[in-house]
Structures are given as C-alpha cells and as structure tokens.
Structure 1
Amino acid sequence: MDDNNSFLTNYADNMGPETAPGPGYKYEEKSGFKKPPDRSGGSSPSRRAPRYLVPAAVAAGALLIAAAILVIALSGGGVKVLDFTGWSLNDAQLWASSNGVLLKTDSRYDDKYENGKVISQDVPAGSTVRKGDFLTLSVSLGHDPSVTLPLPDIMSMTMDEVQKWADDNFMTKVRITAEYSDSVPSGRVIRYEINDSAVAGKVRRDTPVYVIVSKGPKDAASVLVTVPDFKTMSVSECYIFAKENGITLFVAEQYDDYVPKGTVISQSVKATEKVSKGSEIKIIVSKGKMITVPDFSRYTKDEAASVAASLGIPAAVIEKYSGKKAGAFISQSLEADSVYREGDYLELYYSLGNTVAVSSYVGQTRDSIESWAAALNAQGAGITIKVTTTVSNSPKGVIIHQDPANKTVSVKSTIKITVSTGKIVYVPDFVDGTAGPNRGYDTAVTREEAIEMCESLGLIPVFVKESSPGRLPDEVWYQSLPAGSETSAGASVTLKYTPGAVFSVPDFTGMTKAEIISAGYGAKFTVIYAEYGSYVAGQEGRVIEQSVLPGRTAAAGSKVTVYLGPEY
C-alpha cells in the first residue's frame, strides 16, 4: 500500500486495530462487471451462424429482382396480338417470327375464305402474349370439293347462266365449249355430259361437267352485221333493226341529267363494228333527269304547288282539319327524298286549322247542323252532334237549344242540341163506330174532313184507299193511332177510306129537313142545315136557297148547305 495514499490511511485509522489489515495485505483494483454464467454447457459455433445468413439472403433477393427486370426489359413487356382473320398463312408466319411468337396451325374447309387464308385464332385480337408463347391459327383449305349439290335443268339454261351456276356453287370442273347448231339458238345448251352417276340428280363440286352450247347456224354465223350508232335512233327503231338483222337486243334504263328521256346513252358494241347474227347487244336508254321528291314541309301551301309544277310532278294540294294551326303542312303521299317515277301522283295535305266557328242552329232543323258537321268531318274534323229530344211548341225536328253556339271550338268537339218532338196533341176520332145502313155523312168523317182535322192539329195524314162493308163512299173507317191517344205534332197517322163516288146535286128548294133525310141525300152528301137570313111567307121550314147549284156534280160526302125559312 502506498504510504502516501491519505484515503487508505484514513480508512485504516477508522477501522481500529482489530479490522485493520496488517502490514502484509495489499488491495487489488478490479472492474465491477461480472460475466453471466454459461448455461449452454459449453461453447457452440452454430449459435453464431445467423449473423452471416441475413446479408446473404438480401443479396440473393436483389439478384432475382435484377434478373426479372432484365427479362422484362429484354422482352419489351409482351406482344400485342393482331386480328389475323383473312391474312395469308405466310404473312402470319412472318409476323410471328419477327415478334418471337411460336405459331401452330390447323386446317379446315371454308367457303368464305380462300385456300391459305386465316379463318380464326385461339387468342383474341388485342390480347398480349409473351415471346415464346404459342398462337394457334385455323387456316382455310378452300371450298370443300366433296359437297353435293342438286343438278339444275342445264338444258333450259344459257351459257351465261351455266357459268354463273358454276361460279356461285364453286364447281371446279365445269367445262363449256361451243359448236354450230341449226336447231338450237345461239347461246343455248345443246347437250351436256357428267362423268359421275353416283347420285342421280346431284353432283359434287369436283364432278367433271361438260356443257356444249350453240353458236347458232354455221351459215348465219358467217354473215356479219354492221352495228349502227344506236344513239341516233329511237328505241323502237333499235328493236326493228335488231329483229331484222337477227340481233338479240337487251335494253336497260338509267337516269341521266343531260340525255333526254328515251334517248340511247350507250351501247355494248361500238358503232361500225361487225358482229355475227345471233349476237347480243345491250343498250342503255335514258330515263331523263332523276327527280327527287322534295320535303314539302319546308313550303307553304302556295309555294308547294309551284315547286311541284316546276319539277314536273303532278300534284294536288288538299286542305283538311287537323291538330295543327291553319296553313301548316300535314303530310305528303310520296316520301321526301324518294325518286319520282312516271305515273306517280303527289298529294299534299295542309291544315285548315284546329278550330272551327260554330253558328247557332236554334230554330233550324236537326238535319241542318248534322249536314254542317258531316261536311267538316269529310275534311278531317271530328265534330260530334249529341242529340236529346223534348216536347215543345216548336215544330217537330226543330232545334230549340244548342251548346256551344256562336263560338270557336276545337275540331274534335261535341255539340249538344235539344230537338223538339213537337207539341202534344190528342188523336181525334176519325171513325164512326155505328157502321151500317141508313147512315149519313152527318156522323161519318170523309177524307176531306179528315184532312181539315189533321191540319188543325199538325198531324200528317197518310191515306190508304180500301173498301169496307157498310161504309159510305169516301168515309174514313180505320185509323192507325187510337182515338184519344197522345202524340206529338208532326206525327203521321194512317187513315183508310172507302173509294169515293160522284153524285149530281139535287134541287133542294121547297123541301123540308125531314124530306131531305127521308130521301137519303144524307148518304150522298154532307148536308148542313142553316136558317135563311129573312122571313119568307109560306116557306117556313122549307129550303129557300142551297150552297151548291142544282145539277152540279160533287164527290160523295161533299158539303152542301141548305138554308131553311124561319118559322116566324
């Protein structure tokens, strides 16, 4: 111990003699850290390995990411697939090669795509594939030669029709040759041969078919016809030339803004060229300038007529009521922008308006307002007349109320009217119920009297001439409406009467009333007895004067007034 260390010196002094170290002891300075006890039972190198694995894993992940980035960079992110439908197989292979895509193909027959063309693909167009991926294409083998078709009536066909049949049905072995024939017209089939009889009436696409068509008579073929300039001829002249020279003429028409209608525009064989008889020549004839039907909704009624006339379109402007205002366009019979054809007739409809003025028909007959409505409805209106009837003093059939009246209303309005059935009248008794002999016109009603009775009541008599036993001439013996029944003025009543007779009026002068009745004159005339105006001595109760002169003829039942002298 350092004798000069005051800390140790003081420490020893304080401890006393029993605890103080002796001169032979020394203190060793050591760290206060104590190593923890080893619980593993010994040291192990594996406990230290994780310190080196973590950096290795990080390095490996970085390498993988870098490799992926490199692959993506080298591959360009994939290849976008195109629509190869209709491509040739060679073009598709070039594309696949340049884009690093592997191509697989399968084949099948197809009538739409020719041999070697792509029909479909297994990866839709617009999709993305990686380089090195497979893309499968279906490639056409062309038309299937094994397809069986019905055999047409070749003998009734022309050469062009046979060729068209072969082309339309993809026949691969149809051969057409021509030879002269005196009996078969030029261009028609003479005969044909088929080297396959497997199926009657049918042929395969690859069946050999040999067709021989006529060139016409050999002599006629040697005669050449100089083709004229048909453009200088009328169509009828063209037909005449063709007929006279054995030429088959086909005429087609087309519109032309500059060549007049009916004029030849062109011909299939040039003028001055020579053709064999039986040859076919086609000419195109002008239909004139094509006229397009305008949209007349852009024109007023007056303008429309002028426009149609300027275009040469026969037209009629028709006005009718509609839901549109007056003068507005409604429709046209020929569609706008359609081509006008000769013989077409254009009808243009314009509105008369959507309202009508209704006058008052009160005091007029029901027929008058219904005729007015019918005339409007014939022009497109929809006026309805609703009728109710009632008894009134107005004549039968006369309108006594109307709603609306003296107003402007819609063309689809309903107008209500009340019509009089006439005033109530009671049917009189036209028939004398005491039929039999010894009767006179004093109780019977004649046709003339019936007329007067009907006129006073407003009834309409309908007379029927018919005999009845025990009835006087011209006497009414039947009525269709019962006496005393209620009816309206203007009603009809059927009256049957006995056929009349004509009598000579006697001289009643000096006769008494009793003598007149006793003589039976009451069965011939309607005798009316009246008093004479002044007293005449000796003529009391006797006829002094009569209304119808003696000797005159009068119808049975006619009224004859006799004037009797007063009694004083």
Structure 2
Amino acid sequence: MKNKKTLALIILASSLIVIVGILLTFMLLSNKKIVVPDFSDKTIDDVETWISENKLEESAYDYIYEYNEEIEDDYIISQSINPGEALKDEKLIITVSDGKDPDYIVLIPDFNNKTHVEIEEWFIENLFTNYEFEYVQSDTIEKEKFVSLNVTDNNQARSALILVSISYGKEVPKVEIDMPDLKDYTKTNIQAWAKTNAITMTFKTQASNTIPEGKVISQNPTAGSKILTGSKATVTLSSGKGISAISFSGKTKEVAEAWIKENGLKSTYTDVYDGKIQSGLIISNSPSSGAIAQGSSVSFNISKGLVPVDNYTNKSKTEFDAYISKLNASYNKSAKIGVTVNNEESNLAEGTIISQIIAGKSISTTTMVAPGTTITIKIAVPKKISVVSKAGSSENDFKTYITNLGLTLGSKSERYDDNKSSGIIISNDVGTYSLKASINYVVSKGKYTVDLNSYVNKSYSELANQINNANAIGAGYSISKNEQYSDNISSGNIISCSLNGKAISCNVSKGPQVTVKNYVGIYKPCIVNYCEVDGLKITQQSIYNDTYETGIVIYQSIDANTKVDPQTAITLTISLGKKPEPTPTPTTIPAMCKVPTYKPLSIFNGQTYDQAVSNVTYAFSDFHIEIIKVEGDDNPDAFNGVIKSITPSDLSDQTIDCLTKFKIEIYSGQ
C-alpha cells in the first residue's frame, strides 16, 4: 500500500515537472523578439516569406503601393520600422514600388526630321502607353518624317493620348484594300501592316478570360470589309484574364486588402472626410465594376468620418483663417469647410471672433460636421463715431470736441476767410469713424490784407508771388501790371499800385528811355553792317558821296536827341567816298583747239564699249564731250564698242573754239 502511495507521488511530481516545462517553453517562445530585417533591395515576395516564417498576423503589417521612378516594380521603397529593431505593438508598414508612374510628366522632344521608327522608339523607351500614329499628306515634308503632334504643350503624362502625324508625301493614295483578319496578329505585326498601308491605328486593351494576353479581341473595321489606305482603324487587345471588380462601400480595409491579395492586385488608400460612411470604413473604390486585369491597381477612399471643427470664439480671425486653411488641406482636401464672415461693432479688439455659428447655432466646443459645411463667424469691428461740422467754433473748442469723442486730431490747414476771424474753424471731416481715427480740419487766418505802398520801388514779381501764395489758401485777390518808362525806378520795380475791391493794378517801370545821339559827321559806330550800340539796334547802309570821306555817317533815320525805347532800330547811311571812274572792259579772245580726224568713225572703235569710250575720251580731251550709250532695241545687231555717230559731223581735222561740245553715240552689246 505504501509502495502504491509512493508511486502515485512520483507520477504526480513528474506530471508537475512536465507541465512546468511546457509553461516555461511557452513563456520563452512568447517572449521571443521578432527583429525586423533590412528590406532594401528586396521584393514583396521576400517580405511575404519573412512574414510566413515569423507567423505574423495580418493586423501586424500592411502594404502601401507607390509609384517610383528609381525603384523597380514590386521592390521595397521603405519600411516604417528601422532594420534591427524589434517588432512590438506598432504596425509594420511596407511601402512597395508600383513601378514608374503612368501619369509622370515627361518633356516630349522636338521630333522635327525624325522618322516614324525613331519616334516610336522614343515613346517605348520613355514608357508612354497611349500613343498613335496617323499618316497625312504633306507637300513640304518628306515621306516617313514627322509632321505634328495633337498637343501644343510638350510636357505630357505617360498615359496621355499622343497622336503623331507622319508625312506620307505629297499625296496619300486612296486605294481600296481588304481588311485582314487580325486575330492571329501580334501588336507589332498590326503596326507594320498599318504603316505599310498608311492606316492610323488605335489600340485599346480589355481583360478577357478566354483570349490570351496580347491577342486581338475585336477589330474595326471587321475582317473582310473594304478599307481605304490612309484611313483609320481600331483594335482591342486582350490584357489577359480579368477579375470582376466589386464595390467595397461600407466595408473594412482588411476585407478589401484580403480581396486584393487573393486576386493578385495592387491597392492605394486615401483617407477622406465623409458625412455618411462611418470612420474607418471604405467610402468608394475605383474601379468598382467591370473586369480588371491582374496586377492592376485599385484605389480606395477610406472614411475619416465627420470633420471636427474647433471653437475659435475670442480668438483672432487670422488664427481662425490659418486653422481652416490647414483643416481644408488635410485628408486629400476633403473637408471643404466654407466660411461666411459678418462684421459686428464691438468693444473687443478689432478682428476678434465674437461668435462661431454652425447650422444656426453658436458653438462653444469642437463640433463634428459634414464635409462642405459652411461656418458663419462674427468678427469684431470698432464702433463707429459720428462727427458733425464744427464750422464757426474756435480751434480750442474743436480740439476738445474731437478728444472727447475718442478720436485724434489729423492734419491742420489754414485758409484766409473774409467772414471768419483768425482761429475759427472753417471746415472739418464729417461722417462716421472708428475709435482713434484722425480728423482733419481747416482753420481761418482771417481776412487777407496787403500794404501796397510798402512795395513801391520793389520788385513786382515779389508782390505777385505773395498774392499768388495767399490766393492758394483763399485770399481771392487778382493782380495785373501796366508797364511804362521811368527815369527814377529800375526796370521791373513798382512805380505805384491801386486797389479796387480785391483787384490790384500796378504801374511797373520799364526803366529809362534812350536819347538818340548825333551820328552825322562822325565815323561809323559798327565795324560790320549791324550792331547794338548806345542802347539801339543800328543797321548801316553805304553810298558814294563826294562830300564825306569813306566811313563817315552822312544821315541817320531818327533825329538826334529824340527819346526812344531801348533797342529801337535806327538806320545810318555811311559814305563810300567819291565814286571811282569805270574801268574799260577787256576784249576776250577764245582759245582755239585742233579737232582730231574722225573720218572714218571706225578709227575709234574698240573691242568693248568701255574701250571705245576710252578711245574717244582721249582723242577729244581738249573739248567737252557727251557720250550716249546705244543698246537694247536701238542696237538690234548687238554691236559692241562701235562708234555710231559724232556730232557735229563736219569739223574733222579743223581748228575751232576749245569750248565746242561734241555728242558721240557708241553701240553697247553687253
């Protein structure tokens, strides 16, 4: 019996040891740290292998697909947990390259003088997916060379439809041909056929569960129909087996991602506010119907729920504007919160928000609203203060009035006023103003007066300037002058002034007059025939005179001792002395020259027209000659360098007046 008890105790102890060992093993395994490796240069398959080996749950990781111009499709761009760090509560986010962006903007180069083949190679190399070629007639561009693009901006997305026009030469032949059955053609074969027949071919793609990828699903025109060379055709190619897209509206991201992985698709997720779909659920996805090719990307909009709007009462509008701008920029600009501003007079600082109203109610805390909601805010503006005219008040009373209103004195200007004493307000700004606004005003300088007697023998310009300055501030005077000569008052100074009402009239000195001196019998005052001497403008004229010697003044046009205006013109007559006896006119004997022999005329002919001209010029060098070129219709036989005539024709070998003129006609056949 004792042995049985001992055996039972041994069995129990052994069982406890086994249980403890199992628990310790479980605890050790549970506390095992999973270290995240470096996924640089790794593919998504490498990541999936690591996830499987470490038995990670789907909630512990997530994928984000992004286009990348540098990293190949399905290679890792980045990871949210640094290599070497342990995986804890934080979800591991793996960003995977979705290849190069089909909407990436690329600068299309200048294709001038490029061929169809060269242009197509460039589009393939730069990953354009939607380009087409058409053949057009061109009188100026050689066949197979570039003509034009359908776009004017050469910065285009890779997915943009680019239509390239290629020259078919001066005329595209319109020949009727049979449309072949393209079902067994490759895309390259189809393009070659289209190029040969100048067909503008458009390609479309469509998923198909029955037709292999790259093969023809349909064509238009159909096989066997007639088509003209130089026309257009469309071919739909299979993109491979398709997957039926479904709507995930109202479902979780996990459900969508499971479907994405199951069907070999890619996904992108965008968080946006939504007024109907609960936060965290899918609002919409694209595509959501039809067939999509395996490997395609599906985009999902994830609801962030209603938009939280904070209360900005008693804060500045500047702060509120910055907040709303940031809010509207968040989550793909989906908040779309509008703002209506109403101003309200208040003692609060200008620009302070008095109240914030949503759906007709003032809010005091953060409020959840649907995207697109309009918020009304009331903004404090200073209370308006009415200012009335204080014309007729003293300046001191006006200053007190403005200060008591809580306003400030603005600019002060002064004007003359016949009806208001000096220091009385003429006018001031009136209307409604904000607190501490500046109020401008005009003060009377009283009636303007001037002591005209004090300006006698002073500059008229000085008085005129004073009057004009006074008129600029309301004096209302006019001033005029009457110029006259004075022996006592300098030129430009006032002789006397009179006042009639506010009209001032002044007599102004032109200075003294000039007394004409007696010039007769003295030597002329001007070396030349005109000068300004003795305050006069003197003109001299000369005549022969038997009484007065040369240079002596005989007569003056204005009598001596006459008073005249300065710079008056006077004419003096000057003696040239006695008139000389006339000199006999000498007899002129003309110079005589020997005429060269010009019979026959051919003795002056030359090999060229220029040579003949040289011959006659030399022979008749003692005479005046006129050479006439005979050409065109006047030279039907095209003679060249031949003398036609010499006029006069009868003076050959004679001695005649050297001034005789000869006219010589010479044929030119050039």
Name the structure where strand makes up a greater proportion of residues.
2
TM-score, length basis structure 2: 0.31
Instruction: Tell me which structure has the larger Cα radius of gyration.
Output: 1
Higher relative contact order (CA 8 A, sep 6+): 1
